[in-house]
Structure 1
Amino acid sequence: MTTMPASKPPVDRLARQSAYVAYVLELCENKKNRADLRSGLGKPVERSNYMHRLLVPRLKDDEAQHRDARRAHYAVASLIAGRPRATRDAEAQATADQAEPATSDGRAQVTDWWKRPNLGASLAEAVNKKIIKPDTAEADLHLMARQSSDAIHLRLPSLTRQLLSKGVTVDWAVLLHDLTWWNRDQDRIATRWLESYFRVRTRELPNDDEPSGTPEENH
């Protein structure tokens, strides 16, 4: 089993994850496909029988055979399918307006990966928009940092729907990466979520309200 750290995922894997998200978004344009994918919300792969026909042909061998990777791919597909309709419409327009150019081999380019919002950054955006109280968001992040992937998978459907319904961005490819590697690199990923949260929060706070001890980015 590979032990490559999740902190610096290779470009080819990130391109695959972005391409997978694009594939699921395209599937969700069909009402039946969307319903079948949504049926797996919060469920393990073994209880997501309607999703197999859509996802099994797409998953690579390493993604299909490794339990964490397979569950992450199923979970993200169901979360995408479970988006509110207003979010689906807005994301479709944004994708059309901001589509990334393809590389010479036809894959989408993955640019500025670490500038893209992870779950911590999305929670910070929700706080800045006064959708979630700071204490609630921070408590949620600290709790998830200690939890198993099973607990996080159960939490994500309600959390992402709350964020999306209020116009907060969730980067599905970044979330897919983090869920895939959570059980093997939990501390590093949780730290990145917390750092991103406080970094985004600090940018929005007046100087006299800036929190002390904001974690600095590791180099």
Structure 2
Amino acid sequence: MSDQVSAAGAPPKNGSERASDTFVTYVLDLCKVKKTQSDLRTGLGLPVERCNYLHRYLVPRLPERMHPDARRAHYAVAALIAARPRATREADTHAAGSRQPKPGWYQRANLGASLAEAVNNQVIKPGSAEGDLHLMARQSSGAIHPRLPALTRHLLTAGVAVDWAVLLEDLAWWNRDRDRIATRWLEAYFRTNAPEPEQDPAAGSSRLTEEN
């Protein structure tokens, strides 16, 4: 693959794990060492050129020829994983011992679905979640990256899971396929957080009159 878009975006072969999942598993294993986790965390919200402590762990893992957006997505997700709250890290360690089969790719939760779950759990107000999604839908990945550390930590602290592999692929493709990915996020949000339809009072009274 010339000028690779993303090691994460490569489709799985012969039923093997997606490259994005393999990368996430690699980073989760790295984070078992406290010093390594601390080094990876220094890249939070930063461009690759300022992630000096991450290179030793990620450069050997990533293709030499890689699109800059994809490279930054890998560095960003590695830092976000390293910055998980303690409770989330402990839960992930426990879950790693009994891994369940993952659902189909398009059934997995993207950031829109995670925000909807936070709204359903009354962790984030609907207006704030929708505002964040609509704002990100208009921005480049360069503007989104600095927002992710606070947003994902807020979700994780409240017990809302983030699918790192899905986020990795979405970020890797964002600048070249933003409308499609943003639409997926919004669709997932409104599908997961579908409000009850408002009933027209006049229509309700009309039905009661007919029944009587």
Q: Say yes or no: does 1:46 pair with 2:56.
A: no
Q: 1:33 to 1:99 in 2, by over 3 A?
A: farther
For residues 87 and 29 of structure 2, the distance between their equivalents in structure 1, rounded to whole angstroms, comes to 16
Q: 2:31 aligns with which of 21, 25, 28?
A: 28
Could you list the runs of 5+ residues in structure 1 that have no partner in the other structure?
Answer: 101-109, 210-219
Could you list the runs of 5+ residues in structure 2 that have no partner in the other structure?
Answer: 200-212
Aligned residues of 1:14 and 1:173 also touching (Cα < 8 A): no
1:99-158: CA deviation from partner (whole Å, max 9, x where unpaired): 44xxxxxxxxx6411111000000000000000000110011000000010110010000
For residues 109 and 17 of structure 2, the distance between their equivalents in structure 1, rounded to whole angstroms, comes to 14
Q: How many angstroms does 1:92 deviate by?
A: 1.7
Identical residues among aligned pairs (%): 61
What is the match of residue 93 of structure 1? 94
**1:142 partner letter:** H
- State the TM-score, normalizing by the size of structure 2: 0.85
- State the TM-score, normalizing by the size of structure 1: 0.82
Q: 1:14 to 1:176 in 2, by over 3 A?
A: farther
What is the match of residue 74 of structure 2? 73
Q: 2:145 aligns with which of 131, 136, 153?
A: 153
What is the match of residue 83 of structure 1? 84
Aligned residues of 1:41 and 1:79 also touching (Cα < 8 A): yes
Number of residues paired by the alignment? Answer: 193
For residues 143 and 159 of structure 1, the distance between their equivalents in structure 2, rounded to whole angstroms, comes to 13
1:13-33: CA deviation from partner (whole Å, max 9, x where unpaired): 971110000000000000000
For residues 172 and 140 of structure 2, the distance between their equivalents in structure 1, rounded to whole angstroms, comes to 12
What is the match of residue 128 of structure 1? 120
For residues 77 and 126 of structure 2, the distance between their equivalents in structure 1, rounded to whole angstroms, comes to 26
For residues 86 and 136 of structure 1, the distance between their equivalents in structure 2, rounded to whole angstroms, comes to 25
